[in-house]
Structure 1
Amino acid sequence: MSGRTDSARDPNLAIAALMGPGGPFELVEETVLGARMPVMRHRRRAVGELLTESLRWGERDYLVTADRRISFTEHAAAVAALAVALRDDFGVGKGDRVAIYAANTPEWVIAFWATQMLGAITVCMNGWWVPREVTFGIEHSRPTVVIADAKRAAVLAAADTGVRVLTMAEDLPAIFARNAGVPLPHTEVDEDDPAAIVYTSGTSGRPKGALHSQRNILAVADYHRFNDAALGAFTGQPYDPDAPSSSRYLLTSPLFHIASLHNLVVPRLVTGSAVVMHQGAFDVAAVLRLVERERVTSWGAVPSMAARLVEYGEFDAYDLSSLTAFALASAPSSIAFKERLRERVPFARAALVDSYGLTECSTAVAVATPAELEQFPGTLGRPIIGVNLEVRDPDGNPAPEGVEGEVCVRSPYVMLGYWEDQAATDAAITPERWLRTGDFGIVENGLLRLVGRRSDLILRGGENVYPTEIEQCLDEHPDVLECVVIGTPHEDLGEEVSAVVVVQPGSVVTSEDLRGYAAERLSYFKVPSRWRFTGEPLPRNATGKLIRRGIEV
């Protein structure tokens, strides 16, 4: 009997063959924006190509909600109708911005793809923004038109930005009917042309618009396609690019996040699999009913959702046997929390994975498998395909394994830069296209472990909250002399937003007063939930910079 091991028997060899010379995911080194990096040889050059190619999946489910079911064919027809209207009625063309301001809905997805077919830039506006924040977003991105649901259209009206608005409830159905049957438009774009602006909070106190290219979004889609092929290698299924995937993905996070848009909605056009969309506030029972009914196979949840699952405990009432992949996303979680999750949530016991990523990278930087989490608690795994990762010392030199430093990343997933903010771009991306994440970590046994986060960042239930924006808002209140906003531990959210306020002498302002003041100007998740009032000045260093460390609420 032969002792030969080949790719047909060894999944690791099969995966190597997928990535090797002549393989469908062959990696080659090319110059991207002036820097050499690994890219897939066989790749698309325009995001719109994915929509055109998705027609081959026909009547298979693409978007499913509690009460709607939209096939790939129906979706493409709606996209064509809206794209033609945007082009002919609003003059939207290549490089123009189209903003989407809405809760999760199939129309959000249709609007995204319509924008992409025109070579325009999708502006992913945070659906929780209040008028003041919306005004900033409109002035910053200058969209030709905003596509909004009814609730957000009212916010836009209150903000009085003057931008033209298409409503999802009234205008879009009329457009779909009027332009029924029109062909999909086509626009020539370059691989490194911009495709989307995704807002992320910034330490300057204003959101920054991470500008993602056609290459970025397509590379993420190819990463997920590769994951399917790699899973097939481990289960003995040969890779067939023409065979649709039977996986069904649960969407519970906002579509204006990369977790839902880049990493869930977009790749499904390539794999022919379904997006099962939960709408409205997160409700464990409603989500589990959707998992059962739609036979969901994969779910990426933020830790605050996972915390609700830990406390739920009524899983026997549902058939959740289809759910074989469960991931934590958007915010770090403790080793103890992961242990509780595996103990109390049946589908997390053998399926839990964790990852590290950020908006500027379009997708995960590193992913930890269930086996790695069990063997190396606290790890965030190994870099994904195509990612170069270095931990660097204060001088910018690569640190030895086991030595702490700043996590730096170079890959085809890294954003072009920040929209119309060259100073912030230069601070974040080196001339060699290395992204300085501002996070600090250690690589041990090839695995990444974070030891600290960007100095001031608060991660509340998967949302990035930077204190400066909140402090600047509170400082505008006449009774506030100065303030500091910090993150404090919270069992469900990971961290909650807390404020220490130095009030003007003689002031009688209360926490309820300031909470209401902030709620009118900031998204709800940015409004402090814990307060401490003091008459003592806040600690500062010799240059006048606030010393946050050691401040308690």
Structure 2
Amino acid sequence: MTTALHDSDDRGAPAPVTLTWPGDRRLPEDARTALCGPGAPFERTTEDVLGTPVEVFARRSPNLAAQLAHARATTPDLPYLVFDGPEPRTVTFAEAYRLAAAYAEVLAGRHGIGKGDRVAVAAPNTLEYVLAYWATVSLGAILVGLNGWWTPAEMDHGLALTEPALVLGSGAPMERASATPWSGTAGVPHVPLEELHAAATGLADPPGALPGVAVDEDDPAAIMFTSGTTGRPKGATISHRNFVFFNQHGALGGATTALLDGHRYRQVPDGAQRASLIVSPLFHVSGAGVTMAVAPMAGLKLVFPGPGRWDPERALRLTHEHGITQWSGVPTHFWRMLAHPDFASFRTAQVTMVGSGGAIFPPELMRHVRETMPGVQLGNGYGMTETLGTGTLCTGSLLEEHPGSVGAAVPTVRVQVREDGRPLPEGEVGEIHIQGPGVFLGYWRDPEATAGVLDAERWYRTGDYGRIEDGLLYLESRIRDLILRGGENIYPIEIEYRLVEHPEIVEAAVVGVPDRVLGREVKAYVVREEGSALTAEGVREWAAQTLAAFKVPAHVEFRDALPYNETGKVMKRRLEEEHAAGPR
């Protein structure tokens, strides 16, 4: 199976390759016509997007507000938002539309929020946060998602950069946002979300519809901050088009997988509502994308755990109580749920999909899921904040056959691996580039950084290394993670893959540490199975069975857990800093 386009090369040199969606080649002709043919739901065409031709879906919502209106018209009485806690709350799609309209009237009438204004939110995931999100984007304003774990100094950076007209929030995040120098000098109101909710629900004559503001699909909808692994966080500006595309590519991809692989996996019964457990914060692409784009168009019920850190028992209980049909998260979440001593007492037979986007599925975890939950379909995607999480996807039989891959390009997206701006042939390692409707508008008020990652044809330079083989993308490493050891390039992810295949290793992270002779040397941080007596020498022997000698970790440090950020990524910079600081 090939799912890549090879350009001709008259000189006989290996031809450069561009990944495109494989569904056009994998689907039977009648199914492809029904899904993607003229007049079909997923018909595609090429249009001008911000000055460059881009393949898009011909039939799409004009903006985010239209998607919530669609949900009110088609699934008004289905549960949309469920919040666990001491006082559980459930809101239907119709109720969410009505409340969002009231929120919008308060934002516009009492706070003067209009098109192009920024509304910052510093809060945990709450009903009020979701409703404020809908109200903001329906006014043509821009939702600024402040990271709820930021320090006051980091909050200050985010606020000073975006200069919101209003700051909303609750709890500790709001306290930190209110303690910044910017907050003390800008004179911008800080309004508790609970106060906004009271004002909206107390309107004497609440509106019957969202405001009729003209919002173009390429208008900004949100500013999401990068994780800041290579410096101060930048504000990625996400458009309405990006959000709408987030749902459409997933819907077509899901329909394609069902046609090709549906007989192999569990299915949601006809008439049953799909339900997802939301573990990602709303300031992150996974949380916002599913909540604002997927759920309204798919009639998906979203269950939000209560306040506090993620807990495997709570996740299992909510899966049991609310009939969760799909889990999303990172491998750590799934390891901990499957390892829970009471796992068998919770109802999980209705779970049809387990998906990840923050890290590759270790082979041992894939085996464990298949053994513990037979018939569950696994999926893993590759994307980033700047593409609203879209890029490639590996799911179903494709993931089983190519577990080390992050998959093929999603519909309408093109992927290339480049060196010095030149697309490379199959098998060669280079920097991954992505083009498509999910690519962001640019970094807020940072044209230099934007120019550094977006070319004239809106190809996004990801900063990740990878290679293309037989129509699939394989990650090698982030460029900043590359270890240069004595002239050899070492990609940590290859070593990490090998280590987690050990039956006594739960997790592993590999970084480069200073070495006087070689420049950098390989160090592995390893989390062992409980009760394991595995030694550092045992780790090295395991790695040496399949890896070249220069890739075998020179240093091994055992940890009870690895440090993760709020998006589920290992904080390798912290590990490097801790190594530099000396023994713990």
Superposition TM-score, scaled by structure 1 size: 0.78
Residue equivalent to 1:55: 72
**Corresponding position: 1:21 with 2:57:** no
Shift of 1:419: 0.6
Structure 1 residues 487 and 354, CA, compared in 2 at 3 Å: closer, same or farther?
Answer: farther
Residue equivalent to 1:481: none
Residue equivalent to 1:164: 189
Q: Counterpart of 1:272 in structure 2: which amino acid?
A: G
8 Å CA contact retained: 1:11, 1:233: no
Shift of 1:86: 0.7
Secondary structure, counterpart of 2:91 in structure 1: strand
Q: Counterpart of 1:431 in structure 2: which amino acid?
A: A
Shift of 1:285: 1.1
Residue equivalent to 1:531: 578
8 Å CA contact retained: 2:276, 2:301: yes
CA deviations 1:326-367 (Å, max 9, x no partner) are: 112223343344344444x426x6422111111111123111
Q: Counterpart of 2:278 in structure 1: which amino acid?
A: L
Q: Structure 2 residue aligned with 1:152, among 173, 177, 183?
A: 173
8 Å CA contact retained: 1:146, 1:166: yes
Structure 1 residues 316 and 38, CA, compared in 2 at 3 Å: closer, same or farther?
Answer: same
Shift of 1:487: 9.0
Residue equivalent to 2:421: 396
Residue equivalent to 1:86: 107
Q: Counterpart of 1:253 in structure 2: which amino acid?
A: S
Q: Structure 2 residue aligned with 1:256, among 268, 283, 292?
A: 283
Aligned partners of 2:478 and 2:393: how far apart in 1? 18
Unpaired stretches in structure 2, ≥5 consecutive residues: 1-23, 264-269, 483-491, 497-508, 512-519, 529-564
Structure 1 residues 302 and 16, CA, compared in 2 at 3 Å: closer, same or farther?
Answer: farther
Q: Structure 1 residue aligned with 2:306, among 262, 268, 279?
A: 279
Shift of 1:455: 1.3
Structure 1 residues 533 and 256, CA, compared in 2 at 3 Å: closer, same or farther?
Answer: closer
Residue equivalent to 1:293: 321
Residue equivalent to 2:477: 452
8 Å CA contact retained: 2:387, 2:440: yes
Residue equivalent to 1:120: 141
Question: Percent identity of the aligned residues?
Answer: 34
Q: Counterpart of 1:190 in structure 2: which amino acid?
A: D
8 Å CA contact retained: 1:259, 1:363: yes
CA deviations 1:484-512 (Å, max 9, x no partner) are: 9x9963549xxxxxxxxxxxxxxxxxxxx
CA deviations 1:180-224 (Å, max 9, x no partner) are: 632321210222111110100346621001101111111112223
Structure 1 residues 527 and 71, CA, compared in 2 at 3 Å: closer, same or farther?
Answer: same
**Corresponding position: 1:44 with 2:57:** no
Residue equivalent to 1:192: 218
**Corresponding position: 1:314 with 2:347:** no
Q: Counterpart of 1:178 in structure 2: which amino acid?
A: L
Aligned partners of 2:468 and 2:481: how far apart in 1? 23
Shift of 1:389: 0.7
CA deviations 1:374-430 (Å, max 9, x no partner) are: 2122011111111111111x2322111121111111001000111111111001011
Q: Counterpart of 1:269 in structure 2: which amino acid?
A: P
Residue equivalent to 2:535: none
Secondary structure, counterpart of 1:406 in structure 2: strand
Deviates more, 1:22-31 or 1:312-321: 312-321
8 Å CA contact retained: 1:399, 1:405: yes
Aligned partners of 2:97 and 2:29: how far apart in 1? 37
8 Å CA contact retained: 1:121, 1:196: yes
Secondary structure, counterpart of 2:318 in structure 1: helix
Residue equivalent to 1:410: 435
Residue equivalent to 2:395: 369
Q: Counterpart of 1:531 in structure 2: which amino acid?
A: E
Aligned partners of 2:346 and 2:147: how far apart in 1? 33
Deviates more, 1:325-334 or 1:418-427: 325-334
State how many pairs are aligned. 469
Residue equivalent to 1:133: 154
8 Å CA contact retained: 2:152, 2:179: yes
Secondary structure, counterpart of 1:316 in structure 2: helix
CA-based RMSD of the aligned residues comes to 3.2
Residue equivalent to 1:346: 373
Unpaired stretches in structure 1, ≥5 consecutive residues: 1-6, 237-242, 468-483, 493-518, 536-551
Aligned partners of 1:453 and 1:301: how far apart in 2? 20
Residue equivalent to 1:173: 198
Superposition TM-score, scaled by structure 2 size: 0.74
Aligned partners of 2:288 and 2:140: how far apart in 1? 17
Shift of 1:534: 6.7
Secondary structure, counterpart of 1:312 in structure 2: coil
Residue equivalent to 1:430: 455
Secondary structure, counterpart of 1:100 in structure 2: strand
Shift of 1:526: 9.0
Secondary structure, counterpart of 1:282 in structure 2: coil
Secondary structure, counterpart of 2:480 in structure 1: coil
Residue equivalent to 2:525: 489
Q: Counterpart of 1:263 in structure 2: which amino acid?
A: V
Deviates more, 1:92-101 or 1:166-175: 166-175
Q: Counterpart of 1:115 in structure 2: which amino acid?
A: T
Secondary structure, counterpart of 2:42 in structure 1: coil
Residue equivalent to 1:385: 411
Shift of 1:229: 3.9
**Corresponding position: 1:73 with 2:90:** no
CA deviations 1:87-124 (Å, max 9, x no partner) are: 01111100000111111111111111000110001111
Aligned partners of 1:93 and 1:534: how far apart in 2? 49
**Corresponding position: 1:327 with 2:327:** no
